[in-house]
């Protein structure tokens, strides 16, 4: 609230002097606001030289902004400038018409607004203006009290109406809630009955499920045992089938191999017989004869002197290289050599590697000269390294682990067809006796060594 605004109709100098001694009344807020509004409305009509400098900027404001933005400046100027208050008061009273003249005369019309009367009295300062301000304040207070009472009455009536409305609404809601409660109780009874029925059904379902689970477990166990028995039978049948297939395959392969061996032996035998007959014919140089066997018989019984006794061929032992040459000259002959038995008799001072190399090289020369099949057999449980490639027509074999070269030689002899010339070179008497029983010609190691040295 701004400071009180002193104003009376005395000269400005006297009023200024009295202002220091007369206390200003406290204006009610509505009166103060009305004073500011009246002064702000009268400012634009005041000459510029009479207007205080701080209010010149306020006078240029728009009417709706002048009282609101310039209220502080206006209150300050009214409190500190009695001359300005007197001049602006005259203008305000003049602008107020009859009400302003009545207030300036010290009268307050009964029908007039007490706030308007108090504002004009504060600016005009007539006789008894303080009483007018006090009366306006009392009226404002009474009006405020009446307004407060009326507001309280209205609030009470409003609250009573609202309470009545709330009671009516509460009664309606209570009826609804009672109906809803009855319905809920009925539904609750139904739900309880349904829950009992559902519980019985659930217990029955659980019992049935337990029985079904037990039955299922039993069936699963039975099916598992059946499946295991079936799988065992399938594995056994598969094993038997695999064994049968393997036996059939082995039988087929054995029959095939046996047939191939028989075919090879038969072909080789026929080829040997044919070549032997041709070679024998060439060797004997037999030509046509003019005598028949009966003629020789007849000559034997005649008194003619007999033919001279033919000379018997000299015996040839197993170490004679000439006999070896005769045997190798037979058609399709097969020369089998006991490797280490020959090399250890002929050149034992060499290493085994050099022994093998020298023997295989010599046998290559014999194979090239005669065209015969040549096989040399060495004892060897493991693979022998360092052996050069075999010459053309020479087969080099090593016995397996656990076997000897003697057994391998006997296997080679047994594999040949009966009637084929087979020459086995070995000084081992057991080997010689064994191959002789199978139709082979045993020769000593020295016969081969002499043959090699001659080459």
The domain locations on the chain are 12-127, 321-454
Distance CA 139, CA 288 (A): 188
Can you give the C-alpha Rg of the chain in angstroms?
A: 78
> Is residue 74 helix, strand or coil?
helix
Residue 204 contacts by C-beta under 8 Å, 6 or more apart in sequence?
none
**Pairing status of strand 373-378 against strand 441-443:** unpaired
Third-level CATH fold of 321-454: Rossmann fold (3.40.50)
Alpha-helix runs per DSSP H in 285-309? 293-301
Tens of pLDDT along the chain (455 residues)?
444 444 444 444 444 444 444 666 777 778 778 877 877 787 787 888 888 878 778 777 887 777 777 777 877 777 777 888 788 778 788 777 877 777 777 777 767 777 777 777 777 778 777 777 777 777 777 666 666 667 777 787 788 888 888 888 988 989 899 999 999 999 999 999 999 999 999 999 999 999 999 999 999 989 989 989 889 899 999 998 998 888 888 888 887 887 787 777 777 777 777 677 666 656 565 444 444 343 443 344 344 333 333 333 334 567 888 999 999 998 889 999 999 999 999 999 999 999 999 999 999 999 999 999 999 999 875 556 656 688 998 999 998 888 889 999 999 999 988 888 999 999 999 999 999 998 899 999 999 999 998 86
Residues 6+ apart with CB under 8 A from 102: 108, 109, 112
């Amino acid at each position: 609230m701004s400071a009180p605004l002193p104003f009376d109709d005395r000269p400005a100098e006297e009023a200024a002097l009295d202002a220091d001694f007369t206390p200003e009344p406290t204006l009610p807020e509505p009166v103060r606001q009305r004073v500011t509004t009246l002064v702000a409305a009268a400012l634009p009509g005041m000459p510029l030289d009479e207007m205080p400098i701080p209010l010149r900027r306020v006078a240029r404001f728009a009417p709706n902004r002048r009282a609101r933005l310039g209220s502080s400046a206006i209150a300050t100027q009214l409190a500190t400038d009695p001359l300005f208050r007197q001049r602006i008061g005259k203008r305000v009273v003049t602008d107020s018409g009859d009400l302003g003249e009545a207030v300036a005369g010290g009268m307050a019309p009964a029908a007039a607004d007490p706030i308007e009367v108090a504002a004009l009295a504060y600016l005009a300062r007539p006789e008894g203006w303080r009483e007018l301000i006090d009366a306006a304040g009392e009226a404002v207070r009474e009006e405020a009290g009446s307004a407060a009472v009326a507001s309280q009455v209205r609030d009470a009536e409003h609250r009573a109406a609202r309470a009545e409305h709330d009671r009516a609404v509460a009664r309606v809601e209570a009826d609804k809630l009672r109906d809803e409660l009855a319905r809920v109780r009925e539904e609750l009874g139904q739900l309880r009955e349904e829950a009992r029925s559902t519980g019985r059904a659930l217990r029955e379902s659980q019992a049935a499920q337990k029985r079904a689970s037990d039955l299922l477990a039993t069936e699963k166990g039975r099916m598992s045992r059946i499946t295991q028995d079936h799988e065992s039978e399938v594995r056994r049948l598969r094993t038997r089938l695999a064994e049968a297939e393997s036996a059939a395959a082995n039988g087929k392969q054995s029959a095939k191999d046996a047939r191939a061996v028989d075919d090879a032996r038969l072909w080789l035998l026929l080829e040997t017989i044919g070549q032997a007959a041709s070679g024998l014919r060439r060797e004997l140089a037999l030509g046509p004869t003019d005598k028949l066997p009966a003629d020789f018989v007849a000559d034997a019984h005649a008194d003619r002197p007999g033919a001279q006794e033919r000379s018997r061929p000299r015996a040839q032992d197993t170490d004679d290289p000439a006999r070896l040459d005769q045997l190798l000259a037979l058609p399709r002959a097969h020369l089998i050599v006991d490797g280490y038995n020959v090399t250890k008799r002929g050149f034992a001072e060499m290493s085994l590697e050099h022994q093998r190399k020298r023997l295989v090289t010599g046998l290559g020369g014999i194979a090239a000269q005669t065209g015969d099949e040549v096989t040399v057999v060495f004892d060897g449980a493991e693979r022998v390294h360092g052996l050069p490639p075999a010459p053309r027509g020479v087969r080099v074999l090593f016995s397996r682990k656990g076997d000897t070269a003697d057994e391998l030689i006997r296997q080679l002899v047994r594999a040949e067809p009966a009637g084929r010339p087979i020459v086995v070179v070995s000084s081992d008497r057991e080997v010689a006796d064994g191959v002789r029983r199978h139709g082979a010609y045993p020769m000593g190691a020295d016969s081969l060594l002499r043959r090699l040295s001659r080459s």
